[in-house]
Amino acid sequence: MRLTRRTFVGTSASLMALGLGPVSAQERRGGQLVIVSGENPRHLNPAVQSGLATAIPGTQIFASPLRVDENWDLHPYLAESWELAEDGLSLTLNLVPNATFHDGMPVTSEDVAFSIMTIKANHPFQTMFGPVEAVETPDATTAIIRLSQTHPALLLALTGALCPILPKHVYDDGQEMPTHPANNAPIGSGPFKLAEYRPGEQITLQRFDDFFIEGRPYLDEIVIRIVRDASSVTLSLESGEADAGMITDSTAISRLSATDGLMVTPRGFEGIGPIQWLAFNTRVAPLDDMRVRQAIAYAMDRDFILNALMRGVAASQKGPIIESSPFFNPDMPGYTLDLDRANALLDEAGHPRGADGTRFTLTMETIPGRDAATGNIPEYLRSQLREVGINVELRASPDFPTWAGRLASGEFMMSMDIVFNWGDPVIGVHRTYLSTNIRPVIWSNTQGYANPEVDSLLEQAGRETNLEARKALYGQFQDIVGEELPVYWINALPYHNVFDDRIGNPPLSIWGMMQAMDEVYWTEDR
């Protein structure tokens, strides 16, 4: 990240906004922020859809009970205070009394209860609110979350895009939540209200003048421009047509870091934990045999991927929990390149080479529009697996919904994927490996992986509040999946935020731009 006077001003203002110094709002009201994105949301309701594309606009439209900063510390938002019971089985939220939705209706505890139970029933992350049995509403500003067991990730799950508070009077009409028409014309209580949504083109958000935090938001408008691909994101940021965006391509990171007037930083993704992996459908032959999956792992050179294909900007990732997490087990199997071992495993599994040297053919799905992010790993994988007698056919989906549908329905053999840890393993890791979460929903356990011991370990870790005990449980879990390999973990995706360096208080909490931007402002005219 280049340090200029402008970036220093923005960073200093960020610290002041957290209570570390005085902040004057008089010089920073007004203006438009243009965000460029290569992600096209299916709709704008984070209660039933995960991912950056929905979360960035969703956190402007919907407020959550709590917020979290760059140090993982929790702060009040719709809940002005909260109290966890001594036994850990209930959490009381005390709501601000003055919050209203964009249509003027008050935000009450009934909305909080409806939202949490809606998320529990519909969100891909079923473990996130799995222990929630009920939400009691003794009065309009008190919501009591009742749990069946202790839940170490509960408070984090009440922040950002994970817990948007929906208007019950809009959504509780008997229609199905995933396809509710309000998902494309949402009404929330966040700092910005939806002005226009042109799917695949642009989302325009305007300041909500009756936002419950006085004097905010500072910006008049946020415009999210949806472009075709990663190269268009880079060009928009480089030319100044956009003020903010996210990039993962190593060439773009280097190029924009050298562009005057921009701040390029890996900060803002600490809570996401983005892992790029190769997913296996463990229900179909020959991938139902872990020896075949292990052979594929031994045929890949992770160091070559990191240093050559990803050009040194991506971090290693050899397990299901991001390596920067305290729960990562560094002793789990790493599968360094070993073609002899790969060939021996395939022979042992009963797949001899044919006359042409081929053992069998696998089809591999690729994510549309993610060529730069994946570092051409699919092509590399195809050449490497040819060395051990496996023929790989790449199948490109015409669009994201097609790719997501193939994985959700189990109509795939292998696929590149980018999946987030979402701050705590309970939220973002359990969903991929629990047999109870094998569902026709993208980013659930689409691999069809089932191991009763893994289920038990994750169930225990999901209610354990002692840090060291949780580490031990997750260590055992990683040892097992590290051997059985329902997925092969490749690298931590090198997400970087890019901002015009005149932006004050850029969104750099653990959720980055997946947070309310009511504190963002322009230090100078755009």
Q: How close are the terminal C-alpha atoms of the chain, in Å?
A: 21
**What CA–CA distance (Å, rounded) separates 186 from 236?**
28
Q: 338 to each of 152, 300, 380, 384, 473, how far by Cα in Å?
A: 40, 8, 16, 11, 30
The count of residues in the chain is 526
Per-residue pLDDT of the chain (526 residues; tens, 9 = 90+): 333 333 333 333 333 333 333 444 445 799 999 999 988 898 999 999 888 999 999 999 999 999 999 999 999 999 999 999 999 999 999 999 999 999 999 999 999 999 999 999 999 888 899 999 999 999 999 999 999 999 999 999 999 999 999 999 999 999 999 999 999 999 999 999 999 999 999 999 999 999 999 999 999 999 999 997 888 999 999 999 999 999 988 889 989 999 999 999 999 999 999 999 999 999 999 999 999 999 999 999 999 999 888 888 888 899 999 998 889 999 998 899 999 999 999 999 999 999 999 999 999 998 776 655 566 889 999 999 999 999 999 998 888 889 989 999 999 999 998 899 999 999 999 999 999 999 898 889 999 999 999 999 999 999 999 999 999 999 999 999 999 999 999 999 889 999 999 999 999 999 999 999 999 999 987 6
Instruction: For each of the domains in the chain, give its residue range(s) and CATH number, in order of start.
Output: 5-269+495-522 (3.40.190.10), 274-492 (3.10.105.10)
**What CA–CA distance (Å, rounded) separates 148 from 120?**
14
User: Are 417 and 276 within 8 A, CB to CB?
Assistant: yes
User: Which contiguous run of DSSP H or E holds residue 426?
Assistant: helix 425-428
User: Are 185 and 206 within 8 A, CB to CB?
Assistant: no
- Report the pLDDT value the prediction gives residue 19, as an integer from 0 to 100: 36
User: Are 94 and 148 within 8 A, CB to CB?
Assistant: no
- Report the pLDDT value the prediction gives residue 460, as an integer from 0 to 100: 96
Tally Cβ neighbours within 10 Å of residue 174. Answer: 6
Across the beta sheet with 496-500, the strand order is 192-198, 202-207, 221-226, 32-37, 244-247, 496-500, 262-265
Tell whether the torsion through CA atoms of 179, 184, 187 and 192 is positive or negative: positive
pTM, two decimal places: 0.84
